[in-house]
């Protein structure tokens, strides 16, 4: 089955002023113009969303938030409502990124609540899962993935699963320059699909896009993306640079020819 690759650029807390965002995007837009066989999503910090939305109008690049809260409004100082994300043009939202889980103590239960709300609000969730280095070294990767899949996707219907993108991001590979080998990544992507067959069915498992994330760059993107079960990338560091991100997007485009 042919799944449309999806490349997400997660700027984290790096390019957050409107001018920093603009500087990068005026370079990126012409570089990826006309590429329609790959979904391209940029996730800037909240403070740049509105400016980025204006810049991306009439381009083939979509907008995403990096996080959100599970309520639409209320006394939640410092949080962001899915409604606000929508109002500034977000189509996607990253949920459960390992930095949210590890630095801000987000639990699987919280990610599950956010996921349900995002679906209710028609935002397309990019849900991140992945293991720590110690867990991999202890041979517990699959156990961790199984647990995260069960808890994060608790009570998510088959219909809703169709709009979700899963990002497999081994935590030891994020921002470290250490990439999982294409074989290591593919093994876990296949495992995630097996779990989706058990929990839902083969049709769902075959249709869900699973991105790889963790030090993806032009040098390794083609090898990773050419694996059968790797349907895109969630890119941090390299997404801050227009040429590097465009090269990754073009590597994804190549796999569709």
Give contact residues for ligand PGA (rule: CB under 6 A).
10, 169, 174-175, 213-216, 234-238
CA distances from 167 to 34, 98, 176 (A): 25, 11, 17
SS (H, E, C) 121-157: CCCEEEEEECCCHHHHHCCCHHHHHHHHHHHHCCCCC
The widest CA-to-CA distance across the chain, in whole angstroms, is: 50
| 211 beta partners | 167
In the complex, what is the shortest distance from the CB of residue 202 to ligand PGA, in angstroms, rounded to a whole number?
A: 28
**Cα dihedral: 172, 177, 181, 187 (round 10):** 30
Indicate the residue among 200 and 220 with the shorter CB distance to ligand PGA.
220
To ligand PGA, the closest distance from the beta carbon of 155 in angstroms equals: 26
Q: Which is catalytic among the residues 99, 131, 135, 169?
A: 169
Report the C-alpha gap between 6 and 94 in whole angstroms: 13
Nearer to ligand PGA, 6 or 216 (CB): 216
Of 200 and 212, which CB lies nearer to ligand PGA in the complex structure?
212
Two structure tokens written together for 184? 């290591």
Which listed residue (97, 106, 131, 186) is catalytic?
A: 97
Closest CA to 32 of 226, 215, 247: 247
Residue (148 or 215) nearer to ligand PGA, CB:
215
CA-CA distance, 244 to 241, in Å (whole number)? 5
Q: Which residue is nearest to ligand PGA (CB)?
A: 236
Catalytic residue list contains 132: no
What single string gives the DSSP state of each residue in 69-103? -SSSSSS-TT---HHHHHHTT--EEEES-HHHHHH
Residues in a beta bridge with 124? 92
Residue 20 annotated among the catalytic residues of the structure: no
Q: Closest distance between ligand PGA and the C-beta of residue 215, in Å? A: 4
Q: In this complex, which beta carbon is closest to ligand PGA, that of residue 92 or of residue 200?
A: 92
In the complex, minimum distance from the CB of residue 104 to ligand PGA, in angstroms, rounded to a whole number: 14
CB of 244 to ligand PGA, least distance (A): 10
Catalytic residues: 97, 169
């Amino acid at each position: 089955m042919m799944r449309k690759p999806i490349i997400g650029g997660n700027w984290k807390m790096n390019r957050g002023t409107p001018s920093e965002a603009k500087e990068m995007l005026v370079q990126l837009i012409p570089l990826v113009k006309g590429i329609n066989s790959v979904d391209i999503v940029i996730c800037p910090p909240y403070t740049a969303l509105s400016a980025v939305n204006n810049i991306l109008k009439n381009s083939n690049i979509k907008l995403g938030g990096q996080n959100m809260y599970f309520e639409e409004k209320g006394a939640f100082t410092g949080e962001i409502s899915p409604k606000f994300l929508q109002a500034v043009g977000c189509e996607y939202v990253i949920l459960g990124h390992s930095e949210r889980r590890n630095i801000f103590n987000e639990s699987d239960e919280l990610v599950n609540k956010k996921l349900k709300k995002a679906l209710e609000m028609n935002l397309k969730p990019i849900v991140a899962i992945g293991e720590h280095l110690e867990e991999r070294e202890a041979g517990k990767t699959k156990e961790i993935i199984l647990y995260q899949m069960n808890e994060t996707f608790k009570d998510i219907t088959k219909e809703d699963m169709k709009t979700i993108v899963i990002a497999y991001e081994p935590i030891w590979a994020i921002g470290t320059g250490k990439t999982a080998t294409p074989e290591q990544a593919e093994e876990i992507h296949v495992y995630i699909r097996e779990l989706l067959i058990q929990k839902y069915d083969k049709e769902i498992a075959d249709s869900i896009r699973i991105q790889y994330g963790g030090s993806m760059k032009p040098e390794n993107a083609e090898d990773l993306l050419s694996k059968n079960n790797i349907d895109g990338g969630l890119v941090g560091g390299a997404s801050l640079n227009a040429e590097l991100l465009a090269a990754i997007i073009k590597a994804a485009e190549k796999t569709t020819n």
